[in-house]
Amino acid sequence: MKRTRTWVACAALGALAGAFVAGPTARAQNATSSSLPSLSKAAASPDNWAIPALNYASTRYSPLNQINASNASHLQVAWTFSTGVLRGHEGQPLVIGNVMYLVTPFPNTVYALDLNNHERILWQYTPTQNPEVIPVMCCDTVNRGVAYGDGKIILHQADNTVVALDAKTGKVDWTTALASYKVGATGTEAPLVIGDKVIVGVSGGEFGVNGFVAALSMTDGHILWKAYSEGPDNMILLNPKTTMSLGKPVGADSSLKTWKGDQWKIGGGDTWGWYSYDPKLNLLYYGSGNPSTWNPVQRPGDNKWSMTIFARDLNTGVAKWVYQMTPHDQWDYDGVNEMILADLTINGQQVPALVHFDRNGLAYVLNRATGALIAVHKYDPSVNWTTGVDMNPSSPNYGRPNVVAKYAPGSRGVNVNYKGICPAALGAKDEQPASFDPQTGLFYVPTNHVCMDYEPYPVAYTAGQPYVGATLSMFPGPGGYMGRFIAFNPVTGKTVWQIHDQFSDWGGALTTAGGVVFYGTLKGYLRAVDAKTGKILYNFKTPSGIIGNVMTYMHNGKQYIAVLSGVGGWAGIGLAAGLTDPHAGLGAVGGYAALKNYTALGGQLTVFALPGS
């Protein structure tokens, strides 16, 4: 078996995207309003979508209700916009007043569209980026969206440069280089603006990049603080006495003690997912990704603090609490999925909860103030790598998953094919965001019902080269399908209803006060579903597979639903990069080979509304 097969997807991305490289341009015209609102004012209006996840709690719940369960079946396309890029579109637009802002995959062109004038292009900005960044973008050249604040649009480019653009003109205000793509560090996540700070992370776990989160000054982009995922306490910004983990101080050198020698320096734990924030607690929440390499035999120990939920003080970056979900990850179950902040009634008491649907197939409920573990349940019944998490506080294994050795790569050594592991490496859910509806009290989760065979092998580290060390095959889970969209209660562990799909449901969910849930499928369907019953109310096929996240806004008294379509991402990498080897894309090409029979490359925003003026 050729060991290079695993990385074909990520090493061959230049073929299609390279043609889009362009110099910095900002074709600007006058914006529709003479002044721009503050982020707090813009986010307070339900007419806008001013934060990538709509709100700091990452609920993706909108109070708009003009479109509701009784009329959603009458939706129709209102307008469309071609982005001009044929790669995976994995984010969502922003709407601030009369202007919509969106960003494409590489080369990361930003558009400002005038909603008052037939969606005219007010300005567009295309940065100069070296095409050498493309081969080090694991799993497609995606970007998950821009951020807004202080009259600026914040872009995290693929080459790890953060750019602030004037929201009215598109002119560059400031730029900050975070890390070098030459060692595999790239930018794919949507930044988060909080007050005078811009929160950004890094991708590159498959290249041995030590993950970090940084807070930049909104004024000029200088770094205010930077916190790594692994290493000495002063790099991670841990206080050994006051940073807590499951009710106990982490102690000195809590990360260093769990790595062999200085392996932590190339240890992964990257931060390419979503960020949430609680203004009352002044805490920032996010997750870190897989440890490097994918061959667990080469990195004995718990590999802290990869696979970890962090709660950090926004002002200082110091972690208040941490919780490692998958110690010594043997499956690539990145912990970067969104942290949804919701006040839940548990045992008759209201609890400030953090709910996280992890790639490992487990739904976690923690007290977001203290980090106390409240509940953990499987949200996909096929999960077999663990029997569950030890919930006994007096147990030495408290909070740890009970691992089934049969499904644990490395447990019987390397060059052994560990078969039938569920979920696959892309997780029971990847970055595609879930949504919380306070009206039903349920979480709506787009999932991947996918399993895998996993063979680890020895690999050497070279800066800027893939540092994987595993060959994978992916295939549908039990029942023969790959997607489940579910209404789930993570406190009780109950699935209230579910919809099966042939392929993964990779489009992020939106819930609204109209009692409707929206999401997108890999075949390209924008779907509206009754939040209480799961009845499909509307099903429209867009030009390409959807890996973007559904959003909504109100303009001139009319509610709109919008989604980016453009197949790609990890699941669609075969189509996006023209790959056919079933082991390419870390196994995804073979697993999703039939997707080409249902959709093709595209890059389009499709906007829906009810008929009438």
Catalytic residues: 332
Let me know the angle formed at the C-alpha of 350 by 348 and 355, rounded to the nearest 5 degrees.
115
What counts of helices (H) and strands (E) characterise the chain?
A: 6, 41
- C-beta of residue 250 within 8 angstroms of C-beta of residue 244: yes
Which of 191, 425, 213 shows the shortest CA–CA distance to 322?
A: 213
Q: Retrieve residue 182's tokens.
A: 């030459």
Report the candidate in 110, 167, 115, 553 with the shortest Cα–Cα distance to residue 102.
110
Burial degree of 145 (CB within 10 A; 0-12, 13-18, 19+): buried
107 upstream amide cis, omega within 30 of 0? yes
Token pair for residue 532?
């209480």
Distance CA 106, CA 424 (A): 27
| Cα torsion angle, 446, 447, 448, 454, sign | positive
Give the separation between CA 351 and CA 369, rounded to whole angstroms: 9
> Measured between alpha carbons, how far is 13 from 576 in angstroms, rounded to an integer?
8
**Three-class secondary structure of residue 294 per DSSP:** coil
Cα distance between residue 489 and residue 75, in whole Å: 29
- Omega cis (within 30) before 186: no
Question: Residue 100 — φ and ψ, nearest 5°?
Answer: -105, 135
Among 118, 117, 86, 82, smallest CA distance to 102 is for 82
Do residues 134 and 2 touch, judged by C-beta distance below 8 A? no
Q: Which of 162, 51, 144 is nearest to 564 (CA)?
A: 144
Q: Give the residue from 147, 111, 109 showing the smallest Cα distance to 29.
A: 111
Instruction: Compute the distance between CA of residue 67 and CA of residue 74 in angstroms, rounded to an integer.
Output: 9
